[in-house]
Amino acid sequence: MKVLVPVKRVVDPYVRVRIRADGSGVDIANLKMAMNPFDEIAVEEAVRWKERGIAEEVVTVSIGEPKVVETLRTALAMGADRAIAVQTEVAVQPLEVAKMLRAIVEREQPRVVIMGKQAVDDDSNQTGQMLAALLGWAQATFASRIDLSDGEAEVAREVDEGIEVVRVKLPAVITVDLRLNEPRYASLPNIMKAKRKPVETLTPADLGVDPTPRLEYIRFEEPPKRQAGRKVESVRELVEELVKRGVI
Ligand code: AMP
């Protein structure tokens, strides 16, 4: 079966971000960028399916500035077979991303779309669900275990009370959680090999989608600074201090 893995290029999660002085957004100029960590987990899972002979082809897609090609090369170095870059300077939002992914699904006809449960830059947690709805496909979100067979997938989902196991018929959209697997580091020979793997370039117009955002961000603020802590000698002192401060 063919598997499609959408990957988003985001600010490296280990980099500290700053809000622009006018509060209009986060200043990402010159920051280190990386593949969204949940998407690395999705690529890893798809590549393992290929290695086990469950998947025949792993196609990866990214939507954004021309540099998304760098992120796609990482997915190719991890083991994806080919890539599609949908290039736009617009900061696309989940509904428009989902519409473009639907158009790609219609062209590529994968049996499974596996993707991150959320992008760590905007924390939307919407795209997978919207894509499943647009396609009229089954969805299984927050996967921490996936058993894929020809016609269906059994998915363990991380929910508040524990693990919920669902079975979905294919085709399906599956979004992945942190504990599904540990993504591999690409080896140097595979990074070299990835340079020769095919990357197709498209625009939103090629997919018949207007990428203009519908949601307007009004203002961004830093969280309040934490006050310095103080070490206490005993539980008694801790409780007295908490009472004094009106915490308990
Ligand atoms: P979100 O709904 O924005 O939190 O993103 C959820 C998932 O949708 C991500 O983990 C990606 O797999 C996918 N996704 C979101 N934005 C993009 C994008 N611009 N290009 C490719 N995939 C994306």
pLDDT bin (cut points 50, 70, 90) of residue 247 is: confident
Residue 150 has pLDDT above 80, yes or no: no
Ligand 1, residues 36, 100, 180, 199: which to mutate, most atoms within 8 A of Cβ? 36
Q: Which residue owns the Cα nearest ligand 1 atom 14?
A: 8
Give the residue with greater pLDDT, 247 vs 120.
120
Ligand 1, residues 3, 5, 8, 101: which to mutate, most atoms within 8 A of Cβ? 8
pLDDT bin (cut points 50, 70, 90) of residue 224 is: confident
Average pLDDT rounded to a whole number, residues 150-168:
94
Calculate how far, in angstroms, residue 152's C-alpha sits from the geometric centre of ligand 1. Answer: 24
What would the pLDDT profile of 61-109 be if each residue is shown by its tens digit? 999 999 999 999 999 999 999 999 999 999 999 999 999 999 999 999 9
Q: Which residue owns the Cα nearest ligand 1 atom 16?
A: 8
Neighbours of 154 (CB within 10 A): 15
What's the rounded Cα separation, in Å, for the pair 3 and 47? 9
pLDDT bin (cut points 50, 70, 90) of residue 28 is: confident
| Nearest alpha-carbon partner for 59 in 200, 207, 209 | 200
Give residue ranges with CB within 6 A of ligand 1. 6-8, 36, 38-39, 62-64, 92, 94, 97, 115-116, 118-119, 122, 124-128
What's the rounded Cα separation, in Å, for the pair 209 and 103? 9
Residue 228, pLDDT score:
87
Superfamily of 2-244 according to CATH = HUPs (3.40.50.620)
Residue 181 has pLDDT above 80, yes or no: yes
Claim: this prediction has a pTM higher than 0.85: yes
Residue 157 parent element (H or E): strand 152-159
Residue boundaries of the structural domains of the chain: 2-244
